[in-house]
A and B are shown apart, each in its own frame.
Chain A
Amino acid sequence: MTFDAPFTIPFTVGCFFLLVAIATKWIIWLVRLPRTDKRLIRRNILSLETLKGVWEVIRESLLHVRIFRVNPMLGFMHASLAFGWFLLILVGWIETIAYLGMEWVPLQGHVFFKYFMPVNGITEHISLFEQLMDALLLVVLIGVAMAWFKRLRSKFMGMRRTTKHVLFDRIALSALWFIFPTRLIAESMNAALYGGHGFLTGSIGGWMANTIPHETLVTLYDPSWWVYSSLLCLFFVALPFSRYMHIFTEIPLIFLRRWKLRPTAQRKSYDNFEVEACSRCGICIDPCQLQEDLGINDTQSVYFLRDRRYNMLSLKIANNCLMCGRCETKCPVGINLNTLRLNSRAKRRNIPHEGRYKYLQGLDRSSGNGKVGFFAGCMTSLTPGVQRSMKEIFDAAGDDVWYADSEGGVCCGRPLMLSGETDAARKMMEYNSDLFRKHGITTLVTSCPICLRVFKENYDLEGIEIVHHTEYIDRLIASGRLHVEGGNESYTYHDPCELGRGLGIYDEPRRVLAAVGRIIEPQHSRRDALCCGSSLANTVIDDGQQLRIAQRMTRELEATGCDVVVTACPLCNKAVNRASSRPAEDVAEVVAKKITK
């Protein structure tokens, strides 16, 4: 048995190229990992996590469970293509063994088995293989048909918008679309000329034998295999430069993530794995309010990752994102979209010059004394009602409180970080940390989710517990130190991005509100909550655009018919207030009015 036929050459070349290209990419990325990341790999590679990784690869890379969860139609399309193709290869391989025993067969022998072994139906179980292979081919073809259809009408697939592609994507995509129909034709011709085959290729073959003249079939037979092989070659060659690289990038990514590697505020080699693991499925487009409310169509995560991958990321695209995290929660690959966006902003020279923020030296405008510290933050200083209410609450609970910045303080540093000036932000962080330590607080309460996030994620405040004011109020009520009266008012609570999706704090503010009234949930809440549009992370959209996002969000909040719209972020508060006819309130303000005794 020989497996040489000239038409297999394109396929073999393509395969070889693909292998080399992927190996090169992986090796370069791995070698360039920072030392700390390499240490993490060494420490975790021999652990249970690796086994769990194997399972996750099967679940995500083959079955695409997470896509199913977000969008079943799209999940089916991806799974039928990926898993179907995988099974075709696997079952095809077993089929060869069933035929030839454990004899060594070169790769092209497996892939083009029908060409080399045209006579079929020798035994029962082999004809079973024929049926199985046909069934799998059908599954993949349905996936391809859905992909075609998705291009035509994305609504059908439960998506309002589908992704725009670059050249290599188009080449690979076109090849992929035609690979399986061509395979169907080639195998059917095989059936027409030699008989046999399963229900699909067999019957199409039978039909061909009856309608197409024998000579035509003979002349077209070899070319059809040539086309099939060449399409495979084209796909393999384009793959490493197209979005299909995600197939092979997601696998190492899953393991690296299991070994606890994460992207950081500074770019590093690990980012390559995340960036190229994006399949450009486009699921992240629909949740983006910049798209929905403002019609901005070039900055969603899928485009941002694409631009970054091909080194054509503009400052504007990097900056045009609210970092609301709505897309991140939906991304089936679990890419850390916010962090990648953040580290794209890191300036080449973000080292602050020597004298920068020298004026912070020796500064201390804090007041009061106590183990509990309250940090209002810049934004809260623009919502004095929140500050006043917090003071009333602290007083009612009998807490001694140290006020870090009631007479003017220093920013928490997150706004600078969000603009990529991480080193400058360090100076604020050092200043504030020293201040907290100097005053010996053990609990730090802040009413701004933006500050809360940076305190928790970037400060080193060991020994000081960091809580949001809603968490603190919740505890005061639960422990009986703060007495509030219940009432009939209805509240609709807006989950601030940084507090909810950012830090996972959803229940505490709701518990507090439930203690003083009724809660009516808006259409989008918790992980799905809308962003107010005022996010400090976005420096591109203008005032009018911010307002439009706020208006749409506020409309939705007010549609519940609630008495008061409540937020837990001073910035959201401002945004709702601008867009609404009646004032929004902060959780603290609501509670302060309900204090009894």
Chain B
Amino acid sequence: MRNLNFGYGISRPRAIDLDNNDLRKSNDIIAEMPELQACIGCGSCTASCTAGNLTDFNFRKLHTAVRRGEYKGAYEELNKCMLCGKCRLVCPRGINTRALIMLIKRKLGDF
């Protein structure tokens, strides 16, 4: 039974503690890019992602986590992105995802 492969897995349960997370950077990001709040988490960005096609990089998961103050590893993970812009073209909410990527990197990175 354990060896059955359905082609997808189940995420391990985890808790996001919004009270203890430091939301300053997240608030900064949302303040500069309020349209991010319109995200419906549809995952189109991840589905179309060039980098996601080649690695386990998951853009929707990443920007959702960052919004909730989970920054660990986000910068390094975002460095997998090639800025190709496919995610922007498919996003049903018209979110400027390329600018978002650059913004998150600017806020979390060292430049």
A: residues with CB less than 8 A from B are: 347-350, 352-353, 355-357, 359-360, 363, 378-379, 381-382, 408-411, 413, 415-416, 419, 421, 428, 534, 536, 539-540, 542-544, 571, 574
Contacts and interface: CB of A to CB of B under 8 A. Distances in A.
Nearest to A534: B89
Interface in B76-103: 76, 79-80, 82-86, 89-90, 94-96, 98-99, 102
B80 A359 contact: yes
A571 B111 CA distance: 30
Given A378-B50, A378-B86, A408-B50, A536 B80 contact: no
Contact of A410 (B76, B79, B82, B99): B82
B22 interface: no
B21 interface: no
Interface string B39-55: 00000000010100111
B17 interface: no
A357 B80 contact: yes
A579 to B, nearest CB: 14
Nearest to A415: B83
The 4 closest A-B pairs by CB, nearest first: A543-B94, A411-B82, A378-B84, A408-B53
B54 A410 contact: yes
9 contacts: A349-B110, A355-B76, A356-B80, A360-B54, A378-B86, A536-B85, A536-B98, A543-B96, A544-B94
B35 interface: yes
Nearest to A427: B82
Nearest to B91: A543
A57 to B, nearest CB: 42
Contact of B35 (A348, A411, A540, A542): A542
- Measured as residues with beta carbon below 8 angstroms from the partner, the interface class of chain B is 20 to 34
Contacts of B96: 539, 542-543
Given A382-B90, A543-B94, A421 B50 contact: no
Contact of A415 (B55, B82, B90): B82
Contact of A542 (B48, B82, B94): B94
A381 B86 contact: yes
Contacts of A544: 94
Contacts of B76: 353, 355
A576 B46 CA distance: 24
Contacts of A542: 35, 94, 96
A544 B76 CA distance: 31
Contacts of A355: 76, 79
A501 B98 CA distance: 25
A359 B95 CA distance: 27
Contact of B84 (A360, A415, A534): A415
Contacts of A415: 82-85, 98
Given A382-B86, A539-B99, 11 more contacts: A350-B111, A355-B79, A359-B80, A378-B50, A379-B84, A379-B89, A409-B50, A411-B50, A413-B82, A536-B85, A539-B98
Given A410-B50, A539-B102, A348 B111 contact: yes
B73 to A, nearest CB: 12
Nearest to B53: A408
A410 B85 CA distance: 13
A325 B53 CA distance: 33
B88 to A, nearest CB: 8
A534 B85 CA distance: 10
Contacts of B111: 347-350
A16 B50 CA distance: 60
Nearest to A407: B53
Contact of B82 (A381, A428, A539): A428
B53 A419 contact: no
A428 B83 CA distance: 11
A419 B102 contact: yes
Contacts of A574: 89
B83 A540 contact: no
A352 B79 contact: yes
A543 B86 CA distance: 14
Interface in B1-57: 35, 48, 50, 53-55
Contacts of A419: 83, 98, 102
A294 B50 CA distance: 31
Given A348-B111, A543-B95, A379 B86 contact: yes
Contacts of B80: 356-357, 359
Contacts of A347: 111
A574 B53 CA distance: 21
Nearest to A347: B111
Nearest to B110: A349
A413 B50 CA distance: 12
Given A379-B86, A415-B84, A539-B96, A356 B48 contact: no
B89 A363 contact: no
A388 B95 CA distance: 29
A229 B90 CA distance: 65
Contact of B54 (A348, A350, A408): A408
A421 B86 contact: no
A363 B95 contact: no
B35 to A, nearest CB: 7
A416 B95 contact: no
A108 B32 CA distance: 58
Contacts of A540: 99
Given A382-B86, A421-B83, A574-B89, A359 B55 contact: yes
Contacts of A349: 110-111
Contact of A356 (B35, B50, B79, B98): B79
Contacts of A534: 89
Contacts of B79: 352-353, 355-357
Nearest to B55: A359
Contacts of B99: 539-540
A378 B82 CA distance: 10
